[in-house]
Homo-oligomer: A and B are copies of this chain.
């Protein structure tokens, strides 16, 4: 699917559009697991082409399981990693990073926020145009 068509999700429900100034562009979230018994929360996140979140970090870490489209992941001071279905991203606690779709394709991942008793996500500044240089080419 490319930017011209409707945005669907991959396998899991697309959920509702996120309304937050910590995101740029259209992003949808379906919460899948919220029971604190499990010590982690699981959500399905779908990004329209060009959409991404702001720089942020997780006190307890997070794992991304990529299920569709083409995305980007960048840690502060490192190069952008291009992501496809089947890829796995392990985000260590307190590492500043962002993720989102490439400019020309949608992107979908499962997000498993781990060790949730360590605290909630900490949002930082939006990704600048210079940093958002991710592209398949």
Q: Cβ of B65 and Cβ of A12 under 8 Å apart? A: yes
Q: Cβ of B42 and Cβ of A63 under 8 Å apart? A: yes
Chain multiplicity (copies): 2
- Residue A110 interfacial (CB < 8 Å): yes
With beta carbons under 8 angstroms apart, the residue of B10, B38, B65 that contacts A114 is B38
Q: Cβ of A110 and Cβ of B37 under 8 Å apart? A: no
Interface residues of A (CB under 8 A from B): 10-13, 32-33, 35, 37-40, 42, 60-61, 63, 65, 67-68, 85-86, 88, 90, 92-93, 110, 112, 114-115
Leading 7 A-B pairs by shortest Cβ distance: A38-B114, A39-B115, A32-B88, A11-B85, A12-B86, A39-B114, A38-B61
Other contacts beyond A33-B88, A112-B112: 5, CB < 8 A: A11-B11, A12-B65, A13-B86, A32-B88, A39-B60
